[in-house]
């Protein structure tokens, strides 16, 4: 691993671990109703992956069709393949989590069941502000923070005991395996844009800003499993 790669991971580390801690505390006590609450929010996220960077699965799928004739002209085939793969995987994340939602609700899911919570909306705005600067380095920083180092899924895949926990563990294992690959791909991309210490600093700043907002997004969807004070001291204590 190059030094820069370690620097990027260190920048995100306390925030990623905080996402894990929030999820762990939530799952330890979650009622069926708590599961339903967070699933509505997570399902929205899967249908609108990396909101602010992507524009919802429907539009991204349409754009992918339009991009096809440009493959190996303006668009690298490897990049195009990664895009297709990511869209298929994100749709599958929706599929597996919607199955849990239906199990809990005892009825079919409808499009109105998903919800974009306030902090998720803010996260989209933070990403959009970087993307609008049209700077490949900042785009790569947005990509690098996708999925928060897969920490929610790392915790979720260890659940056991109840039926809902077993269903969740299976779904989260699937998502973890995918998100882990996304993260490796995006890390490679991010490193290719760092040519100086100044670039590194700019990328680290963006990674920290986005990652912090990700933590508030998790706190909201996991019903304040950690308080604001607990989150702030956790992040300080886990800085690298
Ligand atoms: Fe996903
Ligand atoms: Fe993802």
Q: How far is the CA of 228 from the centre of ligand 2 (A)?
A: 26
pLDDT digits (tens, 9 = 90+) for 201-216: 999 999 999 999 999 9
Average confidence (pLDDT) over 91-105: 98
pLDDT at 2 over 90: no
Cα–Cα distance, 170 to 158 (Å, whole number): 9
Q: How far is the CA of 51 from the centre of ligand 2 (A)?
A: 10
pLDDT at 170 over 70: yes
Q: How far is the CA of 194 from the centre of ligand 2 (A)?
A: 23
pLDDT at 21 over 70: yes
Query: Nearest ligand, CA of residue 92?
Result: 1
pLDDT digits (tens, 9 = 90+) for 35-69: 999 999 999 999 999 999 999 999 999 999 999 99
pTM of the predicted protein model: 0.95
Cα–Cα distance, 151 to 18 (Å, whole number): 9
Residue 83 region by backbone torsions, left for phi larger than 0, else alpha for psi between -120 and 50, else beta: alpha
The confidence band for 184, taking pLDDT boundaries of 50, 70 and 90, is confident
Q: What CATH number should be reported for the domain holding residue 200?
A: 1.20.910.10
Q: How far is the CA of 40 from the centre of ligand 1 (A)?
A: 14
Number of folded domains that form the chain: 1
Please state, for a pLDDT cut of 70, what percent of the chain lies above it: 100
3-state secondary structure at position 168? helix
pLDDT at 1 over 70: no
Q: How far is the CA of 137 from the centre of ligand 2 (A)?
A: 19
Q: How far is the CA of 205 from the centre of ligand 2 (A)?
A: 22
End-to-end CA distance of the chain: 17
Domain of 74, in residue numbers: 3-237
Least confident of 139-153, 182-196, 204-218: 182-196
The whole-number pLDDT of residue 181 equals: 83
Q: How far is the CA of 131 from the centre of ligand 2 (A)?
A: 17
Q: How far is the CA of 167 from the centre of ligand 2 (A)?
A: 19
The whole-number pLDDT of residue 209 equals: 98
Round the average pLDDT of the chain to a whole number and report it. Answer: 96
Residues 6+ apart with CB under 8 A from 165: 27, 159
Q: How far is the CA of 220 from the centre of ligand 1 (A)?
A: 18
Q: How far is the CA of 74 from the centre of ligand 2 (A)?
A: 25
Longest dimension (CA), the chain: 55
Q: How far is the CA of 202 from the centre of ligand 2 (A)?
A: 23
Q: How far is the CA of 175 from the centre of ligand 1 (A)?
A: 6
Q: Please say whether the beta carbons of 156 and 23 come within 8 A.
A: yes
Query: Nearest ligand, CA of residue 147?
Result: 2
Q: How many residues does the chain have?
A: 240
pLDDT at 4 over 70: yes
Cα–Cα distance, 188 to 230 (Å, whole number): 33
Q: How far is the CA of 184 from the centre of ligand 2 (A)?
A: 12
Q: How far is the CA of 116 from the centre of ligand 1 (A)?
A: 15
Average confidence (pLDDT) over 17-36: 98
Q: How far is the CA of 49 from the centre of ligand 1 (A)?
A: 6
Query: Nearest ligand, CA of residue 179?
Result: 2
The confidence band for 111, taking pLDDT boundaries of 50, 70 and 90, is confident
């Amino acid at each position: 691993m190059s030094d820069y790669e370690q620097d990027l991971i260190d920048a995100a580390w306390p925030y990623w671990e905080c996402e894990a801690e929030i999820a762990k505390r939530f799952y330890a006590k979650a009622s069926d109703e708590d599961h339903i609450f967070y699933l509505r929010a997570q399902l929205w996220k899967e249908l609108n992956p990396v909101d602010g960077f992507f524009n919802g699965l429907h539009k991204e799928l349409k754009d992918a069709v339009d991009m096809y004739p440009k493959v190996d002209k303006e668009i690298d085939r490897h990049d195009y393949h990664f895009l297709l793969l990511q869209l298929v995987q994100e749709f599958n994340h929706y599929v597996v989590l919607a199955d849990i939602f239906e199990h809990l609700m005892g009825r079919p899911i409808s499009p109105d069941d998903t919800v974009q919570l306030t902090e998720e909306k803010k996260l989209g705005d933070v990403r959009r502000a970087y993307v609008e600067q049209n700077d490949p380095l900042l785009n790569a920083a947005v990509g690098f923070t996708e999925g928060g180092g897969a920490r929610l899924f790392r915790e979720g895949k260890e659940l056991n005991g109840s039926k809902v926990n077993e269903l969740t563990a299976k779904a989260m294992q699937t998502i973890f395996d995918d998100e882990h690959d996304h993260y490796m791909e995006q890390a490679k991309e991010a490193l290719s844009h760092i040519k100086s210490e100044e670039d590194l600093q700019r990328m680290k700043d963006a990674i920290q800003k986005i990652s912090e907002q990700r933590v508030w997004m998790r706190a909201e969807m996991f019903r304040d499993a950690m308080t604001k004070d607990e989150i702030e001291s956790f992040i300080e204590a886990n800085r690298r």
